[in-house]
A and B are shown apart, each in its own frame.
Chain A
Amino acid sequence: MQIVGGRNRRAPGKLAILNTVRVLLALALAAGIVCGPGLHAAEAKKGQAEDLDQNFPFQTACIGTQFPAGNVAYKGIAIKLGNDAYMCFDTDLLRMAAGWTGDYLKFDGVAFSGAHGTHPSIAGDQKFGTKQLPGVADASGSFTDPRPEPFGPIPAATGRWDGLYPYGNKVVLAYTVGGTKVLEMPGSTVADGLTAFVRNFKTEKTKSAFALMICGVEGATGELNGNTAVLSGSGNNSVTLVGLAGAPRGVKLEIADGNQVVLKVPQDAAAATFKVVIWNGTPEEKSKFAGLLAGDAEVADVKHPGPNHWPETVVTQGVLDANSAPDGSYTVDQLPPPVDNPWHRRIRFSGFDFFADGKRAAVCTWDGDIWIVSGIDDTLQNLTWKRFASGQYETLGLKIVNDVIYTSGRDQITRYHDFNNDGEADYYENFNNQVTSSDGFHEFVFDLQTDPDGNFWFAKAGPVRPGGRGFAGPNAGTISADAGSMLKLSKDGSKLEVYATGFRAPNGIGVGPHGEITSGDNEGSWVVQCPINWVRKGGFYGVKDTAHLNPIPQRDPPLCWLDWTETDNSSGGQVWVTSDKWGPYKGEMLHLSYGKCALYLVLKEEVGGVMQGGVVRIPATFTSSAMRGRFNAKDGQLYIVGLQGWQTTAVKLAGFDRVRYTGKPVHSVKGLHITKESIQLTFTEPLDPSSANDVENYSSKRWNYVAKGDNYGANEISVVSPTKRGRDVVNITAASLSPDGRTVTLKIEDLKPVQQMSIKYTLKAKDGVEMSQDVQFTINKLP
Chain B
Amino acid sequence: MQFLDFVKVMLKSFVLPRANKLILLLSLGFGWGATGFAQTNIPAKTEPGLVVTFTTPEGGQAKAADVVTAPNVWLYVPAGKPATPFLPGGKFEATWEGFINAERRADYQFQAELSGGLKLEINGAVALAATGNGAATELGKPVRLNRGLNVFKASFTSPTNGDAFVRLEWKPKDSFVQLIPTDALARAAEAPNLAQAEKLHQGRALFVDYRCVKCHAGPAPESGMLELTMDAPAFAGIGTRRNYEWLARWIADPKALRPTAHMPQVLHGPKAKAEAEAIAAYLASLELKSAKGAAGTLLNVEYEGSSGPANTTLAENSSLAAGGRELAETLHCAACHNLPGATEMDAAKIPLLHVREKFADGALIGFLMKPDAHYAWIRMPNFKLSEDEANRLAAYLLAAADKPKSASATQDVAVLERGKKLVQTSGCLNCHVLKLENQFATKRLADLTGANWKQGCLAAAHGETSKAPNFNFTAEEREALAAFGATDRASLMRQVPAEFAERQTHELNCRECHGKFDGFPSFDILGGKLRPEWSRAFIDGEIKWKPRPWLEARMPAFALPQRAEGIAQGLAMSHGYPPQTPVEPAIDAEAAKVGQKLISMVGGFSCVSCHAVGEFGATQVFDSAGINFARTGSRLMKPYVERWVRNPQSVDPTTKMPVYFDETGKSPLGDVYGGDGAKQIDAIWEYIRLGDKMPPPPTP
Contacts and interface: CB of A to CB of B under 8 A. Distances in A.
A pairs with B: yes
Interface of A: 36, 39-41, 43-44, 46-48, 114-116, 346, 467-469, 524, 565-566, 569, 595-596, 621, 644-653, 694-699, 708, 711-713, 715, 729, 760-762, 772
Contact of A595 (B610, B619, B658): B658
9 contacts: A565-B653, A566-B649, A647-B658, A651-B604, A696-B105, A697-B105, A697-B147, A711-B623, A762-B173
B622 A467 contact: yes
Contacts of A524: 622-623
A712 B623 contact: yes
B605 A651 contact: yes
B660 interface: yes
Contacts of A647: 609-610, 622, 624, 656-658
A652 B620 CA distance: 16
B671 interface: yes
| Main secondary structure on B side of the interface with A | loop
| Main secondary structure on A side of the interface with B | loop
A36 B604 CA distance: 17
B603 A43 contact: yes
Contacts of B624: 468, 647, 712
Interface string B639-679: 00000000001000100111110100001111100000000
Given A44-B602, A621-B668, A649 B660 contact: yes
A43 B699 CA distance: 11
A39 B623 contact: no
B174 A772 contact: yes
B104 A697 contact: yes
Interface string B90-129: 0000000000000111100000000000000000000000
Best-buried of B603, B649, B660, B698 by chain A (most CB within 10 Å): B603
Contacts of B662: 621
B29 interface: no
B146 interface: yes
A163 B700 CA distance: 32
Contacts of A715: 518
B104 A760 contact: yes
Contacts of B658: 569, 595-596, 647-649
Contacts of A646: 609, 620, 622
Given A469-B623, A569-B656, A651-B604, 17 more contacts: A36-B671, A39-B671, A44-B698, A46-B700, A114-B620, A116-B621, A468-B621, A644-B606, A646-B620, A649-B668, A651-B660, A696-B105, A699-B104, A699-B147, A712-B624, A729-B103, A760-B104
Nearest to A47: B700
Contacts of A772: 174
Given A116-B620, A647-B658, A48 B700 contact: yes
A44 B603 contact: yes
Best-buried of A115, A569, A646, A760 by chain B (most CB within 10 Å): A646
Nearest to A715: B518
A651 B623 contact: no
Interface string B499-521: 00000000000000000001000
A651 B603 CA distance: 7
B660 A468 contact: no
Contacts of A43: 602-603
A627 to B, nearest CB: 15
Nearest to B106: A762
Q: How large is the interface on B (under 10, 10 to 19, 20 to 34, 35 or more residues)?
A: 35 or more
Contacts of B659: 649
A569 B648 CA distance: 14
Nearest to B146: A696
Contacts of A595: 658
B105 A694 contact: yes
B653 A651 contact: no
A205 to B, nearest CB: 51
Contacts of A116: 620-622
Nearest to A442: B622
B443 to A, nearest CB: 50
A699 B172 CA distance: 15
A46 B601 CA distance: 11
Nearest to A649: B658
Nearest to A708: B518
A273 B103 CA distance: 79
Contacts of B610: 647
Best-buried of B609, B623, B669, B699 by chain A (most CB within 10 Å): B623
Interface in B607-649: 609-610, 619-624, 649
A696 B602 contact: no
Contacts of A695: 147
A546 B18 CA distance: 79
A43 B668 CA distance: 16
B515 to A, nearest CB: 10
Best-buried of A43, A346, A760 by chain B (most CB within 10 Å): A43
Given A346-B700, A565-B653, A651 B622 contact: no
A649 B667 CA distance: 11
B103 A699 contact: yes
Contacts of A652: 668
Nearest to B617: A115
- 10 A-B pairs closest in CB distance: A468-B623, A712-B623, A468-B622, A696-B147, A699-B103, A47-B700, A699-B104, A696-B105, A649-B658, A651-B668
Nearest to A695: B147
Contacts of A621: 662, 668
A529 to B, nearest CB: 13
A467 B147 CA distance: 43
Contacts of B609: 645-647
A115 B624 CA distance: 15
Contacts of A694: 105
Contacts of A41: 671
A595 B620 CA distance: 14
A522 to B, nearest CB: 9
Nearest to A525: B623
A565 B649 contact: yes
A468 B656 CA distance: 13
Interface string B124-154: 0000000000000000000000111000000
Nearest to A46: B700
B104 A651 contact: no
A715 B654 CA distance: 9
Nearest to A524: B623
Contacts of A713: 623
A761 B603 contact: no
Contact of A467 (B604, B605, B619, B623): B623
Contacts of B657: 647
A48 B698 CA distance: 11
Nearest to A43: B603
Contact of A651 (B620, B621, B669, B699): B669
A52 B621 CA distance: 23
Contacts of B518: 708, 715
A652 B670 CA distance: 11
A694 B146 CA distance: 11
Best-buried of A647, A651, A696 by chain B (most CB within 10 Å): A651
A31 to B, nearest CB: 16
B434 to A, nearest CB: 49
B676 to A, nearest CB: 14
A26 to B, nearest CB: 15
A46 B610 CA distance: 21
Nearest to A711: B623
A169 to B, nearest CB: 27
B602 A39 contact: no
B145 to A, nearest CB: 10
Nearest to B103: A699
Contacts of A468: 621-624
A760 B147 CA distance: 12
A761 B104 CA distance: 8
A698 B620 contact: no
Contacts of B148: 696
Contacts of B667: 651
Contact of B103 (A46, A712, A760): A760
